[in-house]
């Protein structure tokens, strides 16, 4: 399946919370995941800038998709650690762009890095997360 078709498939079947947030996948491949989030007032803190928790949730969804793309059939994944460095604010009305790449793809642990960019191309946050991959319970 082509990357564009994978992004469309994830947009149709993304996690309920990601859909509620408005996360839109633009590129999905085993080695790179890209997505966008239009920053609305509902995503903001005071003043009207993207809330840190929204940034973390956006990145968590991206890393989870990366892990899903790289785990064996019949497995499941869960985030067991996440660290965020906040570098710049993303104002309401802008579209935040995420680029997620693997740091390590182990058999049971995967580490993913998500860079969140503002519309001006400046780095707003860096999120590193560890995903546990395990066999699904019957």
The superfamily in CATH containing domain 3-135 is Hotdog Thioesterase (3.10.129.10)
pTM for this entry: 0.93
Paired residues of 27 in beta bridges: 34
75-86 sheet: strands from edge to edge: 24-29, 32-38, 95-105, 109-117, 123-135, 75-86
Segments making up each domain of the chain, as ranges: 3-135
- The reported pLDDT for the residue numbered 26 is 97
- The reported pLDDT for the residue numbered 3 is 61
Query: What average pLDDT values come out for the chain (138 residues) when binned by 10 residues?
Result: 77 93 97 98 97 98 97 95 98 98 97 98 98 85
Q: Are the C-beta atoms of 40 and 92 separated by less than 8 Å?
A: yes
- The reported pLDDT for the residue numbered 5 is 83
- The reported pLDDT for the residue numbered 138 is 60
- The reported pLDDT for the residue numbered 135 is 86
- Copy the structure tokens of residue 47: 């003043």
């Amino acid at each position: 399946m082509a990357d564009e078709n994978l992004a469309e498939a994830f947009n149709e079947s993304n996690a309920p919370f990601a859909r509620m947030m408005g996360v839109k996948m633009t590129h999905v491949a085993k080695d790179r995941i890209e997505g966008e989030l239009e920053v609305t007032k509902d995503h903001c803190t005071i003043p009207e800038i993207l809330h840190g928790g929204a940034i973390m949730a956006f990145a968590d969804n991206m890393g989870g998709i990366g892990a899903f793309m790289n785990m064996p059939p019949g497995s499941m994944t869960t985030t067991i650690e996440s660290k965020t460095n906040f570098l710049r604010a993303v104002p309401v009305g802008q579209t935040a762009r995420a680029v997620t790449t693997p740091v390590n793809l182990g058999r049971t642990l995967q580490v993913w890095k998500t860079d969140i960019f503002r519309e001006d191309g400046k780095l707003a946050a860096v999120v590193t997360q560890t995903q546990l991959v395990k066999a699904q319970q019957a």
